[in-house]
Amino acid sequence: MRLTDHTDYSLRTLIYAAVHPGELVHVQSVADAFDIPKNHLVKIVQKLGQAGFLHTVRGRAGGIRLGQPAEAINLGAVVRAMEPDFALVECFQSEGNACVITQACGLRGVLGEALGAYFKVLDRYTLADLTTQPATLQRLLGEAVTSSVPLAAVTVKGKSPR
């Protein structure tokens, strides 16, 4: 099974936000760290925000931060939310399946079981499991660039962030 770049970049964005607790990070910083086109990343951040994985703050002093604690962000849930579908082969599709052996073939069952096992593993892990070495991750991400904003310096509609 291969994840789309969309999901890969989603997981990287969440990791980046997780190693910057208490800060709003700029989308440009994430794009620079992973060499991802900013326009593509903006769409990903929007979807992660809609799914509740990220909190986004618009405007000049805006940025992103985790929408919930890293321990609460399940990897299986992220992958399910970000991938367009899990039709591994044609017979997984309800429409457009032209395979002539679908009725008698056992491939669909075997691959369905494998997909279930794949998610069973992902469901055992959270974002916190991926970020147990935050200082090393920050160093590898090239944290010489200081483009994050301390949350204490930002207010959202007259309220202080959490």
| pLDDT digit string, tens, across residues 15-44 | 999 999 888 999 999 999 999 999 999 999
Question: What is the distance between the alpha carbons of residues 52 and 49, in angstroms, rounded to a whole number?
Answer: 5
Let me know: does 42 contact 63? Beta carbons within 8 Å.
no
Helix (H, G, I), strand (E, B) or coil at 1: coil
| pLDDT per residue as tens digits for the range 71-129 | 999 999 999 999 988 777 677 777 877 778 777 888 888 988 999 999 999 999 999 99
Res 155 pLDDT > 90: no
- pLDDT for 32: 93
CA 64 – CA 162 distance, rounded (Å):
13
Q: Given this model, what pLDDT does residue 99 score?
A: 78
Residue 145's nearest CA partner among 32, 59, 9 is 32
Residues 149-161: what's their mean pLDDT? Answer: 43
CA 83 remoteness from chain centre: 10
Long-range CB pairs of 49-57 (<8 Å, 24+ gap) are 51/78, 51/81, 51/82, 53/10, 53/14, 53/78, 53/81, 54/13, 54/14, 54/17, 57/24, 57/154, 57/156
When pLDDT is averaged across residues 61-79 and rounded to a whole number, the result is 95
Q: What pLDDT score does 74 carry?
A: 98
**What is the residue-averaged pLDDT of the chain?**
85
How far is Cα 48 from Cα 56, in angstroms, rounded to an integer?
9
Rounded Cα–Cα distance for residues 84 and 26 (Å): 26
Q: Are 33 and 20 in contact (CB under 8 A)?
A: no
CB atoms within 10 A of CB 11: 20
pLDDT at 143: 62
CB neighbours of residue 63 within 10 Å: 26
pLDDT, average across residues 62-77: 96
Stronger pLDDT, 133 or 143, i.e. the higher one: 133
Say how far apart CA 126 and CA 71 lie, in whole Å: 6
For range 58-66, the mean pLDDT: 89
